């Protein structure tokens, strides 16, 4: 909703005569708090693409948990991640979208999505921001995925991205150089 503008004239109390125009903006709608959104499990590549587009349009990162039916650790981590997301962690920073990607689904495996997003182990927690996989912050360590405090801070950091493709307030690698900046040097003089 666009804010309405009221134009009024206020009589000056101190100097001279005449009127002073003043613009005051207000909105009749109340400020809504960002909320986390949980999507259905992904079993086909087009479902993930739809969630990526939705995430980009709302400027909220998409948190994906890659699991497989044969993975016992996934069955322990999945409810913990879901509970943390549903508890509202990250909403103060702008909110996140969340879904589970069933890696052993025939369509996901046939499409090679694991190779596309460098999924090498189960479970994997991977964030997407503005439709780009944030592989630098990907979590595959089961001990970290089972640590509630670590998950809460990771989700808050990802939520701070807010569609800006940044590191959620960080500098982008060691010394702010990014992933390959230290290898090839800087192009700026």
Q: Dump the DSSP string for 120-161.
A: -SSSEEEEEETTEE-GGG-B--HHHHT-HHHHHHHHHHHHTT
In a domain, residue 152? The reply is: yes
In the chain, % of residues over pLDDT 70: 69
Full residue range of the structural domain in which residue 58 is found: 37-159
In a domain, residue 6? The reply is: no
Tokens standing for 79? 């409810």
Helix (H) or strand (E) holding 108: helix 106-111
The three-state secondary structure class of 65 is strand
In a domain, residue 113? The reply is: yes
Bridge partner list, 63? 98, 127
pLDDT values of the chain reduced to their tens digit, one per residue, 189 residues: 545 444 445 455 445 555 545 555 555 665 567 899 999 999 999 999 999 999 999 999 999 999 999 999 999 999 999 999 999 999 999 999 999 999 999 999 999 999 999 999 999 999 999 999 999 999 999 999 999 999 999 999 999 988 776 555 444 443 344 444 444 444 444
In a domain, residue 167? The reply is: no
Domain CATH code at residue 148: 3.40.30.10
Please give the tally of structural domains in the chain: 1
pLDDT digits (tens, 9 = 90+) for 142-166: 999 999 999 999 999 999 988 776 5
Task: List % helix, strand, coil for the chain (3-state, nearest 5).
Answer: 35, 20, 45
């Amino acid at each position: 909703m666009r804010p309405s503008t009221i134009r009024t004239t206020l009589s000056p109390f101190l100097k001279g005569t005449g009127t002073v125009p003043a613009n005051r903006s207000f909105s009749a709608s109340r400020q809504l708090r960002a909320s986390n959104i949980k999507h259905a499990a992904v079993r086909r590549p087009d479902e993930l693409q739809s969630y990526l587009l939705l995430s980009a349009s709302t400027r909220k990162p998409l948190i994906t948990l890659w699991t497989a039916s044969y993975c016992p650790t996934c069955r322990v981590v999945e409810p913990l991640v879901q509970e943390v997301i549903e508890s509202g962690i990250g909403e103060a920073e702008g909110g996140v979208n969340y879904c589970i990607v069933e890696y052993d689904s025939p369509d996901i495996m046939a499409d090679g999505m694991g190779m596309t997003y460098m999924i090498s182990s189960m479970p994997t927690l991977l964030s997407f921001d503005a439709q780009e996989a944030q592989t630098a912050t990907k979590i595959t360590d089961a001990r970290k995925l089972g640590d509630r405090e670590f998950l809460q801070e990771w989700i808050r950091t990802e939520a701070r991205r807010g569609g800006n493709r940044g590191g959620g307030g960080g500098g982008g690698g060691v010394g702010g150089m990014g992933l390959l900046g230290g290898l090839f040097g800087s192009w700026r003089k």
